[in-house]
Amino acid sequence: GVDTGTTAAWMEKHRQMYERATRHPFTVSIRDGTVDMSAFKRWLSQDYLFVREFVAFIASVLLKCCKQEDSSDMEIILGGVASISDEISWFKNEATRWGVNLASVSPLKANLEYHRFLQSFTEPEVSYVVAVTTFWIIETVYQDSFGFCIQDGNRTPPELLGTCQRWGSAGFRQYCQSLQSIVDRCLANAPADAVKSAEEAFIRVLELEIGFWEMSSSQS
């Protein structure tokens, strides 16, 4: 099962940081119904810019996957490519609904830092196992963060439930679990230095995600 692999061990080993990323005061305030709507709008507009960068990142993961002798993961990764198209439309609709003008948004510092990290994966020297690990943890932070906003006892404002469902749904959770199985299988067959690089990337994503929530919740 997914809970017996390397990824589960890392989540335990780096649990404090994982929780700072997935139980951040910003997403917890969505769950509590106390969210500052100007922070929500800032997150929405910044995440739109993030997702546009994320397209190129997913394409680089797909490319690395296809270059493997065993490219059986391709269909799962391709599912990620397909859903990002819908996600961009969703952001545009949501922005209109909240009166956010996406054309006038510039990326803030933490977002730019995340962009640079994502861009580094286009280098062919970065291995598939490191890239797919990064993809999995990026998606999982959102799955866990927004999943918590729709779990029992939430007081999430009804107008934010659609956002929470996008990443918190059972379908997205299943998708993240499929990615996790791929990652654990790749890590089990990877050389020690690649496993080490993958763990470093895992930690880096948690730091960048925390920075992204911080950026959204406080104008800096």
The residue ranges that bind ligand HMH (CB under 6 A) are 47, 50-51, 138-139, 141-142, 209, 212
DSSP string covering 153-190: T----GGGHHHHHHHHSHHHHHHHHHHHHHHHHHHHTS
| Angle, CA 88 vertex, CA 84 and CA 61 arms, to 5° | 30
Angle between helices 128-149 and 15-22 (to 10 degrees): 60
> Which residue, 184 or 209, is less far from ligand HMH as judged by CB?
209
Active site residues: 209
Residue with smallest beta-carbon separation from ligand HMH: 142
Tell me how far, at minimum, the Cβ of 84 lies from ligand HMH, in Å.
8
Residues 6+ apart with CB under 8 A from 97: none
Tell me how far, at minimum, the Cβ of 6 lies from ligand HMH, in Å.
21
Tell me how far, at minimum, the Cβ of 165 lies from ligand HMH, in Å.
14
Closest CA relative to residue 183, chosen from 170, 198, 168, 164? 198
> Which residue, 4 or 220, is less far from ligand HMH as judged by CB?
220
> Which residue, 130 or 215, is less far from ligand HMH as judged by CB?
215
